[in-house]
Chain A
C-alpha cells in the first residue's frame, strides 16, 4: 500500500471539499473494495477521507411513499430492513446473493454502487488495462474472457460491473442523491449513474471528483413478485456469470434487468414490453447488440434460460 494521509470527515460538504482539494484523494466507507485495490496498488490515493463519522446510516420513508437509504447503510442492514424485505424484496434478494456475511456487515450502499470491476486484467498490474491505465490497451480482448461482458462493451474495454445490488436498484428505478464540493446537491437517476466504457473506460460513473453520495432513494413500492436469480460457478460467495432481477406483475408484465453481462446493470424498457411473448423475445431485444467472445457466448442462452426460470417462478 502507498502511504496516505488520513482524515475523519465532519460533514458531507466538508468531506466533499476535502476530497476535491486533492486530485488523488478518495473517500473510504466500508473499505472492502478500496483497501483490496490499495494493497495491490491499483488504487493509490495520497489522501483518504473516512466518511464513517457522518452517520448517513438511516432508512427513512420519503414524502412520496418510497424509502430514502443513507449512503452508509450497511448491506446487511439494508437486506434485513423489514420495509425492504416486504416492499422491495428484489433488493434484499440481490444483496443477500452478493459477497459473504462478513463483507455485507461492512460494505455500504454507496460503496456497493462504486465498486470496481473484478476483470482479472484490471487486477493484474502486469497486464494492459484501459480502465487502470488509460491508453495501455485491453488484455481481456482476446484473453480469458469467460466472466466478462457481452453487451455495452467497446473496443477499449469488456469489463462487467460486478454489483448485484445495483441490478436490483436499476429495476426499482432508484435515484442517487449527492453533495458536491461547493455544497450544492443533485439527484442522479440510476439509469444515468453508471457509464458505458466507449473510449474512456476509466470513467465509470456520473460523479465529479469530490462529489459524495449521501443517499439512494427508492420510489413507492411496485407490488408484484420480486425475484433475483444469480447463476455462478459456485453456489455462494462468487460473482455472477448471469443474474436476473425481476418484478413481475399479475398478468405477466413487469420489469427485468440483467447483471454479469455488461459494464452496468442492463435494462431496456422496450425489451420488458415483450415479457408476454416469452423470455426469448425479451432477451432478443435486450441482448440484440451483444458482441460476446468465443469464451462467453454461452451467456446469451444462459440469460434467456435464467429469465425463463424467473418468469416460471413468478407464475408458480
Chain B
C-alpha cells in the first residue's frame, strides 16, 4: 500500500476516510434513476453495465483489468490500481493534472478509455522515481520549490518529461520561429509547450526554473 509509506499508524487511512465519505455522498446525491448514469464510472449500479478486458504495462508491471467500459485510463490507475499519484483535476482535459506518459507520449489520462490501450506501456509519477531515487525533474521541482499545494505537480512533471523528449526529437511548437530548424528550449518555448498544465497556486516561475535546469543538464 502506498498510503502506508507515510508513517501513519492510524487504523483509518486518509484515503479510506475520503473513499467512505465520497460513496456516502454519492448515495445521497443520486436518485435511483441516475445511479448508472453519473460521471463516476465506478459508482455502484443496480443495472448490469457492459464490461471489457484490457492488459497494460504500468511502470514496468503487467496488469490485466476487467472494467466497466466507461473507465478512463485515469480512473483505472487511481481507482483500480490505487496509483493515486496521478491526479484528477478538471476531468475534461483542461488542467493537465492527469498527465501520464503512454508509449513515450504525454497525454491526458482523463480523456481516454483504459480499453483503448491494449498492450500500452504507461508511466506514471510513481514509475518515474520514488523517495531515495528521484527522477531528475522530481528532484529539481523540490530544489526550486516548483509547487505550493502540490496537486498539479505529478502532471507537471510527467508533462515536462514528455515535453523535453518532444524538443529532443525536433517537434516544433507554436512559438518556434523557423519550422525547419531544430527547436531550442527558450523560456517562451517552455511556457508554450507546458501550457496544458495549469498551476492554480501560480508556481510557474519556479516550475520554469526546475525544467530549465534539467534541460540544461541533459543538453
Q: What residues make up the interface of A, taking CB atoms closer than 8 Å to B?
A: 1-6, 8, 28, 30-32, 35-36, 39, 41, 48, 50, 52, 76, 79-80, 82, 85-86, 89, 92-93, 96-97, 99-103, 105-106, 235-237
B179 touches A85 (CB 8 A): yes
A134 CB, min distance to chain B CBs, angstroms:
22
Query: What are 28 A-B pairs at a CB distance below 8 A?
Result: A1-B37, A1-B39, A1-B70, A3-B49, A4-B70, A5-B69, A6-B115, A28-B113, A28-B116, A31-B111, A31-B112, A31-B116, A32-B108, A35-B72, A35-B110, A36-B93, A48-B69, A80-B171, A80-B172, A85-B172, A85-B179, A92-B172, A92-B179, A93-B174, A96-B172, A100-B197, A101-B193, A102-B96
Assuming the contacts A31-B116, A39-B92, A89-B179, asked whether A6 and B69 have C-beta atoms less than 8 A apart, the reply is yes
Q: Which of B36, B170, B174 contacts A97 (CB 8 A)?
A: B174
State the CA gap A315–B159 with chains docked (Å): 38
- B7 contacts A by Cβ under 8 Å: no
Chain A residues contacting B194 (CB-CB under 8 Å) are 101
Residues of chain A contacted by B110 (CB below 8 angstroms): 35
A102/B93 contact (C-beta < 8 A), A6-B50, A237-B196 known: yes
Q: B39 to A236, Cβ gap below 8 A?
A: no
Residue of B nearest to A46 (CB): B50
A79 touches B111 (CB 8 A): no
Contact-residue bracket for chain B:
35 or more
**Complex CA–CA separation, A8 to B69 (angstroms):** 12
| B37 pairs with A41, CB closer than 8 A | yes
Chain A residue nearest in CB terms to B99: A102
Interface of B is mostly: loop
B→A interface (CB under 8 Å): 36-37, 39, 41, 47, 49-50, 52, 68-70, 72, 91-93, 96, 99, 105-108, 110-113, 115-116, 118, 159, 162-163, 166, 169-174, 176, 179-180, 191-197
Q: A100-B195, A236-B192 are in contact. Are A105 and B106 (CB under 8 A)?
A: yes
Contacts A80-B170, A80-B172 given: A36-B111 contact, CB under 8 Å? yes
Residues of B within 8 A of A102 (CB): 93, 96, 99, 106-108, 159, 162, 196
Most chain A beta-carbon contacts within 10 A, residue among B70, B96, B174:
B174
A92 to B171, CA, bound (A): 10
